[in-house]
Amino acid sequence: MDRKKLVDNFDDLERLLTLITGELNDTKLALTRIVEENTTLRIENERLRERLDDLSNLPGEEQHVKSSTQKISKSRLNLENIYEDGFHICNQFYGQRRIDDEPCMFCMGVIYS
C-alpha cells in the first residue's frame, strides 16, 4: 500500500469515527430522554394509584381503610424502588437521574413522610 493511499484511508476512517461518535451521542441523549420520561410516567402512575385509593376509601368501613393503607405503603415501596434505580421522585427534580446516585433530601421526604 502506498503512502498516499494509507493517509487517505486514515482520513476516511477518521471521518467515519467522527460520524459514529456523533450518532452515538445523539442516541445516548435520546435514550436518556426516554428513560427520564418513562420514570416520570412511573411516578405519575404511582401517585394516581394512591389518589384513586384515597377516593375509593369510604369512611366508616374498616376493611377499606385497612386495604387502602396497604396500597399506600405498596405505592411508597414502588416510589422507593424508582429512587433506588437512581431517579428523583421529588417534585423538585421529578424523573431526572440522580447524578452518581447522589442522595436527595426532597426524595427522602417523599419516601419517609
Among 90, 95, 111, 113, binds Zn ion (CB under 5 A): 90
* CB-nearer residue toward Zn ion: 42 or 88: 88
Instruction: Mark the segment that binds Zn ion (CB under 5 A) among 10-18, 29-37, 66-74, 92-100.
Output: 92-100
Q: Compute the least distance from the CB of residue 72 to Zn ion, in Å.
A: 20
Indicate whether 108 belongs to the interface with Zn ion (CB under 5 A).
no
Among 43, 79, 82, 104, binds Zn ion (CB under 5 A): 104
Cell numbers representing residue 106 in the block: 426532597
**35/93 with CB nearer Zn ion:** 93
Name which position in 64, 72, 93, 111 contacts Zn ion (CB under 5 A). 93
82 and 43 Cβ atoms separated by less than 8 Å: yes
User: Which listed range, 24-32, 33-41, 65-73, 89-97, lies at the site for Zn ion (CB under 5 A)?
Assistant: 89-97
Which residue type is seen at 102? E
Task: Output phi, psi for 7, to 5 deg.
Answer: -65, -40
Residues forming the site for Zn ion (CB under 5 A): 88, 90, 93, 104, 106-107
